[in-house]
Structure 1
Amino acid sequence: MKLMPADSTPTTVAVKRAAARRSATNSAGSNTSMDAAPSAPGVASISDLSAKLSVYLSESDLKKVREAYRFSDEMHLGQMRKSGEPYISHPIAVAEICADWKLDAQAIMAALLHDVMEDQDVKKEELIERFGAPVASLVDGLSKLDKIEFQSQVEAQAENFRKMLLAMARDVRVILVKLADRLHNMRTLDFMAPEKKRRIARETMEVYVPIAHRLGLNNIYRELQDLSFAHLHPLRYRTIAKAVKAARGNRREVVSKILESVKNTLAAAGLEVQVYGREKTLYGIYRKMRNKHLSFSQVLDVYGFRIVVDSFANCYVALGTLHALYKPMPGKFKDYIAIPKLNGYQSLHTTLIGPYGTPVEFQIRTQEMHRVAESGVAAHWLYKSGDDSMTDLQQRTHAWLQSLLDIQKQTGDSAEFLEHVKVDLFPDSVYVFTPKSKIIALPRGATALDFAYTIHTDVGDQAIAVKINHEQAPLRSELRNGDIVEIITSPTSRPNPNWLTFVRTGKARSAIRHHLRTINLAESTELGRRLLNQALITLKLDPELLPQLAERLLNESSAKSMDELYADIGVGKRMAALVARHILGLVENDAGAAPSVTPQGDIIQSKPAPVVIYGNEGTSVQLAPCCMPIPGDGLQGQLRRDQGLIVHALDCDQAKRNRAKEPDRWIDVVWGQELNRRFDCRIMILVKNERGMLARIAAEIGESDANISYVAMDNGKDETMPITQLKFTIQVEDRVHLARLMRNIRRIPNVARIMRERG
């Protein structure tokens, strides 16, 4: 990406807007006072916002907010929303949502000003001068990078998210204002074109909904989920909404009976409680139907109850009382008070069998827990009581925000950063223990290696084994609730590219990729240089031209050096063929000549020269484990992002499937002439199950000058005689060596069949 040239016109848009505002005020006589009611169509009122703010802001803060409103109103004068409303109505609505959380004056000012940089070309320096650096930083964090050119819409979106999330890591108010902005946009999405509605709804579901959940903003989380669902799947939404409305009438008697019984029973136990009926969200019902393949009539827990008690101890008293009233369903009790969720959520959850055999979920919590459950991290502003009830939540939020900064340091580009962050935005968690009984929360599906990286990056990098519940286990073992996990490390251990196939957390993934990039930089750079030189030769260009074109090439590719460009090619982030064609364009522009083309408009070029490999290139060139190619096999190579060149045999079935999906990432590869090492391959042998067969075959492999690195046995039954299947991974020099070995084994009596195994 590159910066576009700045506007050289000395008269700024802000000055023009101010002049237009003064002209409009003189002609229409409109009032810009903060508390003014609309005097004419097209003038938005902020009387509701004013009423909300006057409850908790001082007069001096209100004065600052009024100034921000007037400036925003002036900047957005004449700008209209798709609904036909004046644009200023949107910032006012966003500020009202923030006021409901009782955010401070700076956040409210940022909410009112959040679009002036993006839409009206107001500079950050002007905001600093008028409203101070903190407000300007908040607005800057909320503004998209519209003045930068990106290669694609995906890259632009990813870079904007990275900017916003890093601003959030420095000040969580950025994301609170952004979520308020997104909520109001989703509420008014009906006026957008269908395709844009779907794109915004999908973006909301994938990024903003998980962030709202991660920060404990459950009210916004649920509303954004349902609004996204309504625009992504309108027919399904309407169908489920209609079914819920019908069920509401059918089940009213059951719900009323349960509500009355619960209130009376808890009152008889001497508990002061508040009982609320709770209806499952439409998206929650849809997700349960889809995941568990249920019809609507089979989703029995559409309704639930929330019980708010006056003290921590009474949560458990109320639980016991309810279990005495209705029978609990086995396996449906969760104690999120003893072990809170990642976002700080605390409650007791239990599902009971109510009247008529209907399962009913109950959530039991204190008033403080209820505040956090509904408002999450925003409860810090909502209820500043001076106690320590929010400390744990704030620490968890700070730890997550810090992890964003850690991922940013180790991540190559914005798309990769967004990928890592999405991985971490998971609502479901598992809770495991260190040997010293410290609780560690991880996303569901996390492995022992994820645990290691959660403890510390160095622990993950040097991990060699793990003990789960005091028993040895592989690093890829998936963790379960309650596991006691101990990581065994070695100073000589280093991350393996295969680890990327099973780690679950963004921190682990980014740390492994960062290590592979930095440690294997020399190998990747050399491979990238070879790939680019061969691509240039294919286009009949001399690689010696590169130094002359380096500066222009780097400016247009956003790489900092030629070595970085080579390394990006070597790890698969850039395609050598595309870079070579770009260089061809630079050369032809300098020469003033057009490239040779076919009648169809394609550039005429010869077939690319194959890449020569020797098997000792290091981790920048890996032999695919699916087909285990050996010298003598035909080869093809796949450039995979951050893993370099993966070499497959020509007849590999997996390679054929992958090549059909991404043909541009495949290149021709050939073996070099002098290969001074041995290569792994797999063979499978069917033998009659007689004493000493394994020993005889192993001896023959040794006499054939091959080495055994792995062996496995699988007994099976033939109709007439017992047969044993032996699987070996052996090390051979080439196909000729393998063929000689297989002939020797085939001569052994009672060997029924031998074959090389692929896949």
Structure 2
Amino acid sequence: MNLIPTDSTLSVALPNRAASDRSAHRNTDHNGADPNGAVAGVASVTQLNAKLAEYLTPSELKKVKEAYRFSDEMHLGQMRKSGEPYISHPIAVAEICADWKLDAQAIMAALLHDVMEDQDVKKEELIERFGAPVATLVDGLSKLDKIEFQSQIEIQAENFRKMLLAMARDVRVILVKLADRLHNMRTLGFMSPEKKRRIARETMEVYVPIAHRLGLNNIYRELQDLAFSHLYPVRYKTLSKAVKAARGNRREVVSKILDSVKNTLAAAGVQAQVYGREKTLFGIYRKMRNKHLSFSQVLDVYGFRVVVDSFANCYVALGTLHALYKPMPGKFKDYIAIPKLNGYQSLHTTLIGPYGTPVEFQIRTQEMHRVAESGVAAHWLYKNEDASLSDLQQRTHAWLQSLLDIQKQTGDSAEFLEHVKVDLFPDSVYVFTPKSKIIALPRGATVLDFAYTIHTDIGDQSVAAKVNHEPAALRTELRNGDIVEIVTAPHSRPSPNWLTFVRTGKARSAIRHHLRTANLSESTELGRRLLAQALTALAIEPELDPCLVERLLNESSAKSLDELHADIGVGKRMAMLVARHIAGLLEGAHDAGALTDNAEMRTPRLDPVIITGTEGVSVQLAPCCQPIPGDAIMGQLRRDQGLMVHAIDCDTAKRQRSKEPDRWIELAWGSELPRRFDCRIKILVHNEKGVLARIAAEIGESDANITHVGMDNDQDHSLTQLRFTIQVEDRVHLARLMRNIRRIPQVARILRERG
């Protein structure tokens, strides 16, 4: 069955009035040509029909035909900038999906993917015509053009949030979306240079990592090269010419290696396909840039792929190749025993080939090769029965579910995208639970990331860990092969300091969510104090009229005054900006602008916020300078992390204050503080018997507590440097303690350590 009668051809209809009206709000991101500016060939319905007929039933083909006719009618008269009829784009997207053998619903969604966005077709109409699954797919693919956002970044963040959440429910959404982006990148030539760069950067930052994360290596490599060609056109052309010129010189070496490998494998009784593996232009460029190599150094490494007939023969082929050429130490990786996060499996080895040149081999089976090229599209995920899922599907399913977890814990679209992009980086480390289950984490992940990967509750209650059966701190960075065991305590809770060293989006969003909710009362109280102070500085009574509060909440999108106070307390909103907004509301629409301008010009001086020592985790003492009562202090309002207290002379604070001066407020210590404070002292002593005991005894007699001791030796070993972290009441207490220690004869020098 054909999509259209066989005597028909895809033709350009003359635009009518209705079609012109419908095309008025189409998204120009979809229009274009190839990177060289030539008009792309008109998509072939016949070719699409031939691909679909290979695996779809006649009844499914009939449904696809209906979707094509509807899409053609909706896009009637709409043209791409290249001069092609717009329908050529949905056909091309459907053709890419057909190469992956996606089902009829996905092909229909590919043909219809722009009708909601461009032609104002309602979801209800699609449900009625094509069924709920197809309508849901199209809805997941549609952009949010009608929502008003404050910035382009916010628009993109919300688009990606919607796309990724739709993908979490049905992975076919992202497969069709990647096919859509691939065709747009292939036909980007007629865009303005600025728009080309913007789309190419977006592709490189979001779509390329998603394609890699799903194991779609063919799409991943092509999108990378296309984005590279538009981001850095001169570098792309230069490298392209150099690669073509070098290809002829490499032919003799490649032929010699191919013949040797084929003959050796055949002699060992291994049936295998062997072929050379070309590096992508972006791969060459990235290697040159990251490893500071010249073009000739990168091209001196030859790559080959060996595809064998069975799992066992992968290892037989490896041994045969190691007998043929000498392996390079440390250059072997077994991704069959421990697959990559995206399901990729192969043996990787680098050998010293003829003429002393390095030769890289990838050894895999046909099934591994299929998954390596098509990833999750090789077993595309739209089923709910977890029992029927392959290992790759289960890993992908777990990652997609983690997107939903992050969404539940995240406040806004930009933050959601920030968390997700962290998890899209391809480099991974593989560690083991005590029961030998493999856990894959991004490179640089810590013990705490591991804990949150196992379960949010385990992460929240973590207090320590064992790595390879040795005690380890939560901030310990994990390496391949580590065995990790988490120690928990029921009363342990996340600390804002954890955000400084976690690496995964799941851990970061869970910690932020806990800090926002568990410490809500503390953050709300701090925010109330900060807002009251800012209002007083503007000569406004802190007690606000209920009508004014209602207007303020409507305009600030907060649900309640407590939520507004909490946002101020955790640093999401600035107290002075909210106070100026209130002043504007009081003065009326006309006078508000003048008052706000005047307020900004004079920036009223606020009384210091009093630190009482009982604020909880919403107020933290900076670890860089460890301020104690008596030190002059200032505070930094950090987003979602509350107030960080620094000493005024802290170098770190000075640098950060110069970057974001609006986030800093004056602080002062309260008169009666019910707790003690950590500070560090450094003591240089003559290395004599019993000196450490004498100093420790003196600290105890001075009514201070030791929480940490460190020691390092001078080169001549006659002097020893001791470092203590101690708890004191204030500067006066510290000065008295230091005077007492200075009286010990063996002490050469003592000072308070900062920074």
Aligned to 1:738: 734
Partner Cα separation in structure 1 for residue 529 and residue 420 of structure 2:
34
Aligned to 1:755: 751
- Which residue of 649, 663, 666 corresponds with 2:664? 666
1:198 aligns with 2:197: yes
Aligned to 1:469: 468
User: Which residues of 2 match residues 68-217 of structure 1 at below 5 A?
Assistant: 68-217=67-216
Relative to 1, partners in 2 of residues 1:412 and 1:77: Cα closer, same or farther, differing over 3 Å? Answer: same
Partner Cα separation in structure 1 for residue 206 and residue 507 of structure 2:
20
The one-letter amino acid paired with 1:703 is E
Partner Cα separation in structure 2 for residue 390 and residue 230 of structure 1:
38
Partner of 1:147, secondary structure, is: coil
Partner Cα separation in structure 2 for residue 570 and residue 23 of structure 1:
48
Relative to 1, partners in 2 of residues 1:597 and 1:354: Cα closer, same or farther, differing over 3 Å? Answer: closer
Query: CA contact under 8 A between 1:624 and 1:646: conserved in structure 2?
Result: yes
Aligned to 2:679: 681
TM-score under structure 2 normalisation?
A: 0.91
Q: CA deviation digits over 1:359-386, x for unaligned, max 9?
A: 111111111111111101111259x9xx
Query: CA contact under 8 A between 1:687 and 1:724: conserved in structure 2?
Result: yes
Aligned to 1:33: none
Query: Which moved further from structure 2: 625-634 or 605-614?
Result: 605-614
State the shift of 1:754 in Å: 2.1
Query: Which moved further from structure 2: 280-289 or 232-241?
Result: 232-241
Query: CA contact under 8 A between 1:687 and 1:723: conserved in structure 2?
Result: yes
State the shift of 1:50 in Å: 2.2
Partner of 1:306, secondary structure, is: strand
Query: Which moved further from structure 2: 748-757 or 492-501?
Result: 748-757
Partner of 2:345, secondary structure, is: coil
Q: CA deviation digits over 1:301-335, x for unaligned, max 9?
A: 65311111111111112112211211111111111
Aligned to 2:567: 568
Partner Cα separation in structure 2 for residue 302 and residue 292 of structure 1:
14
Query: CA contact under 8 A between 1:639 and 1:666: conserved in structure 2?
Result: yes
Q: CA deviation digits over 1:480-511, x for unaligned, max 9?
A: 22222222222122222222222222212222
Partner Cα separation in structure 2 for residue 437 and residue 338 of structure 1:
13
Partner Cα separation in structure 1 for residue 19 and residue 200 of structure 2:
35
Partner Cα separation in structure 2 for residue 390 and residue 678 of structure 1:
56
Aligned to 1:368: 367
Partner Cα separation in structure 1 for residue 493 and residue 66 of structure 2:
57
Aligned to 2:28: none
Partner of 2:271, secondary structure, is: coil
Relative to 1, partners in 2 of residues 1:245 and 1:42: Cα closer, same or farther, differing over 3 Å? Answer: closer
Aligned to 1:335: 334
Relative to 1, partners in 2 of residues 1:101 and 1:546: Cα closer, same or farther, differing over 3 Å? Answer: farther
Partner Cα separation in structure 1 for residue 586 and residue 22 of structure 2:
55
Query: CA contact under 8 A between 1:280 and 1:302: conserved in structure 2?
Result: no
State the shift of 1:515 in Å: 1.7
Q: CA deviation digits over 1:536-583, x for unaligned, max 9?
A: 222222222253223222222222222222111111122222222222
Aligned to 2:355: 356
Partner Cα separation in structure 2 for residue 319 and residue 502 of structure 1:
39
Partner Cα separation in structure 1 for residue 596 and residue 149 of structure 2:
28
State the shift of 1:154 in Å: 1.8
Partner Cα separation in structure 1 for residue 319 and residue 86 of structure 2:
54
Partner Cα separation in structure 1 for residue 292 and residue 76 of structure 2:
52
Aligned to 2:623: 625
Partner Cα separation in structure 2 for residue 704 and residue 22 of structure 1:
84
Aligned to 1:489: 488
Partner of 1:477, secondary structure, is: coil
Aligned to 2:725: 729
Aligned to 1:639: 637
Relative to 1, partners in 2 of residues 1:456 and 1:42: Cα closer, same or farther, differing over 3 Å? Answer: closer
Relative to 1, partners in 2 of residues 1:358 and 1:643: Cα closer, same or farther, differing over 3 Å? Answer: same
The one-letter amino acid paired with 2:359 is V
Relative to 1, partners in 2 of residues 1:676 and 1:105: Cα closer, same or farther, differing over 3 Å? Answer: same
Partner Cα separation in structure 1 for residue 587 and residue 120 of structure 2:
38
Q: CA deviation digits over 1:563-605, x for unaligned, max 9?
A: 2221111111222222222222222226866534779x95545
Relative to 1, partners in 2 of residues 1:23 and 1:528: Cα closer, same or farther, differing over 3 Å? Answer: closer
Relative to 1, partners in 2 of residues 1:598 and 1:282: Cα closer, same or farther, differing over 3 Å? Answer: closer
Identity %: 83
1:425 aligns with 2:421: no
The one-letter amino acid paired with 2:512 is R
Partner Cα separation in structure 1 for residue 22 and residue 225 of structure 2:
44
Aligned to 1:612: 610
The one-letter amino acid paired with 2:564 is L
The one-letter amino acid paired with 1:74 is E
Query: CA contact under 8 A between 1:588 and 1:594: conserved in structure 2?
Result: no
Query: CA contact under 8 A between 2:581 and 2:596: conserved in structure 1?
Result: no
Q: CA deviation digits over 1:80-105, x for unaligned, max 9?
A: 32323232222221111111111111
Query: CA contact under 8 A between 1:701 and 1:741: conserved in structure 2?
Result: yes
Partner Cα separation in structure 2 for residue 707 and residue 375 of structure 1:
61
State the shift of 1:638 in Å: 0.8
Relative to 1, partners in 2 of residues 1:605 and 1:497: Cα closer, same or farther, differing over 3 Å? Answer: closer
Q: CA deviation digits over 1:246-283, x for unaligned, max 9?
A: 22111110001111111122122222221121111111
Aligned to 2:11: none
Query: CA contact under 8 A between 1:214 and 1:342: conserved in structure 2?
Result: yes
Query: CA contact under 8 A between 1:17 and 1:75: conserved in structure 2?
Result: no
Partner Cα separation in structure 2 for residue 88 and residue 57 of structure 1:
22
Query: Which moved further from structure 2: 175-184 or 334-343?
Result: 334-343
User: Which residues of 2 match residues 382-531 of structure 1 at below 5 A?
Assistant: 391-531=390-530
Query: CA contact under 8 A between 1:104 and 1:381: conserved in structure 2?
Result: no
User: Which residues of 2 match residues 59-74 of structure 1 at below 5 A?
Assistant: 59-74=58-73
Aligned to 2:242: 243
State the shift of 1:743 in Å: 2.8
Partner Cα separation in structure 2 for residue 632 and residue 535 of structure 1:
25
Relative to 1, partners in 2 of residues 1:609 and 1:49: Cα closer, same or farther, differing over 3 Å? Answer: farther
Query: Which moved further from structure 2: 397-406 or 487-496?
Result: 487-496
Partner of 1:686, secondary structure, is: strand
Query: CA contact under 8 A between 2:20 and 2:78: conserved in structure 1?
Result: no
Relative to 1, partners in 2 of residues 1:216 and 1:389: Cα closer, same or farther, differing over 3 Å? Answer: farther
Partner of 2:92, secondary structure, is: helix
State the shift of 1:717 in Å: 4.3
Partner Cα separation in structure 1 for residue 570 and residue 249 of structure 2:
61
Query: CA contact under 8 A between 1:102 and 1:381: conserved in structure 2?
Result: no
Query: CA contact under 8 A between 1:42 and 1:86: conserved in structure 2?
Result: no
The one-letter amino acid paired with 2:246 is A
Partner Cα separation in structure 1 for residue 479 and residue 401 of structure 2:
25
Partner Cα separation in structure 2 for residue 42 and residue 308 of structure 1:
34
Partner of 1:322, secondary structure, is: helix
State the shift of 1:676 in Å: 2.5
Query: CA contact under 8 A between 1:596 and 1:603: conserved in structure 2?
Result: no
Relative to 1, partners in 2 of residues 1:200 and 1:338: Cα closer, same or farther, differing over 3 Å? Answer: same
Partner Cα separation in structure 2 for residue 301 and residue 111 of structure 1:
42
The one-letter amino acid paired with 2:649 is D
Query: CA contact under 8 A between 2:351 and 2:359: conserved in structure 1?
Result: yes
Query: CA contact under 8 A between 2:499 and 2:511: conserved in structure 1?
Result: yes
Query: Which moved further from structure 2: 185-194 or 688-697?
Result: 688-697
The one-letter amino acid paired with 2:640 is D
TM-score under structure 1 normalisation?
A: 0.90
Query: Which moved further from structure 2: 215-224 or 423-432?
Result: 423-432
Query: CA contact under 8 A between 2:709 and 2:724: conserved in structure 1?
Result: yes
